[in-house]
Amino acid sequence: MPGIPNVVVVEHPLVQHKLSKLRDERTGPKEFRELVKELAMLEAYEATRDFELEEVTVRTPVAEASTKVLAGKKVAVVPVLRAGLGMVDGILELIPAAKVGHIGLYRDPETLKPVEYYSKLPEDIAEREVLIVDPMLATGGSAVAAIDFLRSVGARKIRLLVLIAAPEGIDAIARCCEDVPIFTCAIDDRLNEHAYIVPGLGDAGDRLFGTE
């Protein structure tokens, strides 16, 4: 939350404009997918702000330039299926050398607990800066399970990128993983009785893929 050190709310006007369109119930799957992709790219720009640079020299058509490149940081983008898939392409446009891992989790509608059904990660995940991506941080159960799993296979440098967070989800991450920074475009009011974010945007997976 504003003032809580591990949460960054991306307040850029373009982000807030696109987020409003994303929330709108009249936005159909095609536009929804485009907006998720664009928001993910803009958010990744913020979330990588502290990546290290090193000095290099390149020759321009005019002269030698002392300039900077990324200091060999290796990145893995890890979407939480399904809805996290919508955020991958936007980030890969910014960081084309990133590898992509997948974690399949769904939230059991009765218990609201995450159920894992699939995972496939880059072999060298432990050496990579990991960006977990999932549009929604509601109870936080799915994100905590994804972080626990990634830690169990050696990942140490983990950032969580969501589009909308509930206070409950932020608390859950702060309790289990205070070293994991959260990037979000908004912090909403609360969860409803079905643990949906209010006002939120509804079911992100269904809106992305046109399912119900």
| Residues of the shown chain interacting with ligand PRP in the complex, contacts defined by CB under 6 A | 80-83, 105-107, 114, 134-143, 169, 195, 203-205
- As given in the structure block, the two tokens for residue 169 are 């989800």
Q: Which listed option, ligand PRP, ligand URA, none, makes contact with residue 134 (CB within 5 to 8 Å by class)?
A: ligand PRP
Q: List the beta bridge partners of residue 203.
A: none
The smaller minimum CB distance to ligand URA, of residues 8 and 204, is found at 204
Q: What is the DSSP letter of 62?
A: S
Q: Which helix (H) or strand (E) holds 137?
A: strand 136-137
Alpha carbon distance 52, 67 (integer Å)? 13
What 3-state class would DSSP assign to 145?
helix
Is there binding between residue 208 and ligand URA (CB under 6 A)? no
What 3-state class would DSSP assign to 162?
coil
Q: CB 206 → ligand PRP: shortest distance, Å?
A: 6
The smaller minimum CB distance to ligand PRP, of residues 49 and 81, is found at 81
Q: Which listed option, ligand URA, ligand PRP, none, makes contact with residue 197 (CB within 5 to 8 Å by class)?
A: ligand URA
Q: Which helix (H) or strand (E) holds 168?
A: helix 167-176
Q: Which listed option, ligand URA, ligand PRP, none, makes contact with residue 45 (CB within 5 to 8 Å by class)?
A: none
